[in-house]
Chain A
C-alpha cells in the first residue's frame, strides 16, 4: 500500500513555491510603474530622436491640484516669434502615470501667429505632466509640472 503522506521535503518544496508565487504577485505594482516609466522614456525618445531637451521657453499651465482627473484643462504656450525662419513646429504633451504617455501632439506652423494651444486631458494619477516643443531649427524645449490628482481618470465606476 502506498500511503499518500506528505513528507517534510515535499511540504517545504510546496511552501517555498507558494512563497515565490506570492512574491511575484507583490512585485506586480512596481513592474507596472517601471513599464510606464519605460513607455514615457520611449515616447520622449521617439519625439526627440535622442536630441537633448532643454528646459525653458515653454509654459505649461495645469492646475496643481486636480479634483477630477477626467477633465484637466491644460494650456501650452511657447515663446517664439513664429516667423517662417523661426517658429514652433510641434507641441507634444505627455503624462507620467497614464497607461499610455501620449496626450496630444499639435503641429503648428508660421501661420499660427502665436504658439499657444489649450485642451483638456485625462490624468490617471498624481505625477508629472510634460510639454515638449519642437522648434523649426530642430531644438527641443520642455516644461514639466507636477500635479496632484484626487479623483483619477480610468478609475471611474471603481473599475480599472
Chain B
C-alpha cells in the first residue's frame, strides 16, 4: 500500500557527510481542488517525516499541501556509527509508513 523508497549509501567513512534521499508514493491531495460537480476534495497529505539514526532523531520535516505529489525529500547526516536509519512518515487519514536502511561505517 504505502510505497516508500529510501536511498542511503551502504557504507561510509566515519565522520563522512552522507546524503539521504526519501520518496513516498502519495497523491498529496491539497484540499483545494474540486471535482467536476464542484465538491471540494478533502485534504489527504503526509504531514510528517522523521528520520532516526540508531534511535536518535537526526531529521524531521513537516509537510504541507504545497508539497508536490510523491514527496521527495533529501537531506544529509554524518555517518557516526554502523547501524540502521529508520524513516517514519505519518499523515492524514491514519497514513503511516516506515522504512529502514542499514549502513556500515568503516
Contact = CB atoms under 8 A, between A and B. Distances in A.
5 contacts: A109-B58, A113-B76, A119-B71, A121-B67, A159-B33
Looking at chain A's contact residues, the main secondary structure is mixed
Contacts, number: 103
A120 interface: yes
Interface string B51-69: 0010011111111111111
Interface in B19-62: 21, 30, 32-34, 36, 53, 56-62
Interface residues of B, number: 32
A107 B80 CA distance: 19
Interface in A142-160: 153-154, 156-157, 159-160
Contacts of B21: 118
What class of interface size applies to chain A in its complex with B?
20 to 34
Contact of B68 (A121, A159, A160): A121
A122 B61 contact: no
Given A105-B62, A111-B78, A112-B59, 13 more contacts: A105-B61, A111-B53, A111-B56, A111-B77, A112-B76, A113-B77, A113-B78, A116-B76, A117-B75, A119-B68, A119-B74, A120-B71, A122-B66
Contacts of A160: 32, 34
B72 interface: yes
Interface string A77-118: 000000000000000000100111011111111011110111
B17 interface: yes
